[in-house]
Amino acid sequence: MNVVREQVGHMVKIEVETTNELEVLQAIEAKVDVIMFDNATPDQIKHYINLVPSEIVTEASGGINLETLPLYKGCGVNYISLGCLTHSVKAIDLSFLLEGIIMKFLTKVQSIESLPEVYREMTTEEKRSRIYEIKKQLGRRLFIPGHHYQRDEVIEFADVTGDSLQLAQLSKANKEAEFVVFCGVHFMAETADMLTTDKQKVILPDLKAGCSMADMADISQTEYAWGELQSQFGDTILPLTYVNSTAAIKAFCGRNGGATVTSSNAKAMVEWAFTQKQRLLFLPDQHLGRNTAFDLGIELEEMAIWDPIQRELIYDGNKENIKVILWKGHCSVHEKFTVAQIEDLRKTSPDTNIIVHPECTFEVVQAADLSGSTHFIIETIRNAAPWTSWAVGTEMNLVNRLAQQFSDKQIISLNPNMCPCLTMNRIDLDHLLWSLEELVEGKLHYPITVDPKTTEEANLALKRMLERV
């Protein structure tokens, strides 16, 4: 890559074919122009899309035909290749089209908005200085909330830090701010927009800052599943959704009598749900749902899984025994913590306390010493005795920050090879500065808006939660 760039610069577009997540990450690191996902499933592609910076074009290829095309349409790629259209056609029949196709493709690539080169040319100190200057210029008109998982270089400029719902509520409380530049991911900015006034504008510095778990439950999948489950179980199910979900999923729960939950209040909300209906559908994180229900005394044998891709209920037994239906979704960061990592640590450092987030798998949570929300993890370590050792099963940026903040304790990641959440890491100094400079020029760069109907129904789900915790 470096040799090619030195020879031709950016005049020639470079495309790389990838077959797994590691290759995707390597292509991103190499700063290619186009990444092809070869023979990837729709779920895999949705995950990969959340890793790829907005300036890189994406293409899905391999194993896609006219029947499976609808499954790939909503994955977020720029292009979908269907070899089935050309496999039986002689190349000579298409040769006259190639020049026009290539020109159209290159035009499409060049028209995609990418980070202006000026930001890549600035030094870190120049960017920091300019951000501080703009913050001073805009004063109280600007509010920058920063999620716990953000890069340190972004957290430096955050007015407040916290989890997703907390930041949305703080945005709502800040009536002076005209602009909320939300340093988090898309669903968090949606929640902030729904809770703030129409006069306040919520901005996400990079539209590709998404959440793979939230994307694992879209509204069409959910409505289909709801219809199927209603036909099997009748009016016995209440939907609950983790706040790590899209506004559309929150609205679905709101209009169907359900509510949102956080990792801090999930137990209280599940208990409430069972006072309303015989069963519950837990979206979109199966692990938080399973861990929470088990802690409340519900047996694993009383839990089923709804697979949105296969469109089927997975359960081996009498369906009348089902109490909890878990949506087949997960956090790509927390699912990378394993029991093997815990077992290794027990052997090499038996005195180390192991604390994990409940988005981890059931087996990992059971093997750990403690589990709880991000707030629980932070406060547990804050209040721990000096010189104690902790292995933390959550996002790496937060783990590193805890180690710096509480230097009187030994704090490491449970997974020594863990990378930060790549979708959170999309927001960097470059994109933050770009958003702020656009504001100074009177432009809203990547505003996040949720329509009034969705806002009304989603706020109903949020209200039901906030009234009970």
301 labeled part of a ligand binding site: no
421 labeled part of a ligand binding site: yes
359 labeled part of a ligand binding site: yes
Contact status, residue 23 vs residue 43, Cβ threshold 8 Å: no
**What is the Cα–Cα distance from 239 to 255, expressed in whole angstroms?**
10
Cα 403 to chain centroid distance, Å, stands at 24
- Distances, alpha carbon 392 to alpha carbons 264, 343, 373, 376, 408, in Å: 17, 14, 12, 12, 16
374 labeled part of a ligand binding site: yes
Which of left, alpha, beta for 311 (phi over 0: left; psi -120 to 50: alpha)? left
What would the two tokens of residue 434 be?
């770009």
89 labeled part of a ligand binding site: no
Contact status, residue 430 vs residue 411, Cβ threshold 8 Å: no
**Cβ burial 9-30 (10 Å sphere, 16+ → b, else e):** eeeeebebebeeeebbbebbee
Give the closest residue to 259 by CA, choosing from 281, 278, 279.
Answer: 281
253 labeled part of a ligand binding site: no
**What is the Cα–Cα distance from 222 to 252, expressed in whole angstroms?**
8
211 labeled part of a ligand binding site: yes
331 labeled part of a ligand binding site: yes
Tell me which amino acid residue 166 is. Q
Cis before 358 (ω within 30): no
Give the closest residue to 431 by CA, choosing from 199, 150, 109.
Answer: 150
Tell me which amino acid residue 165 is. L
**What is the Cα–Cα distance from 33 to 55, expressed in whole angstroms?**
8
Which of left, alpha, beta for 442 (phi over 0: left; psi -120 to 50: alpha)? left
287 labeled part of a ligand binding site: no
20 labeled part of a ligand binding site: no
244 labeled part of a ligand binding site: yes
What would the two tokens of residue 57 be?
């074009």
* Bind-site residues: 147, 164, 211, 242-244, 263, 331, 357-359, 374, 421
* Bind-site residues for iminosuccinate: 147, 164, 242-244, 263, 357-359, 374
* Bind-site residues for [4Fe-4S] cluster: 211, 331, 421
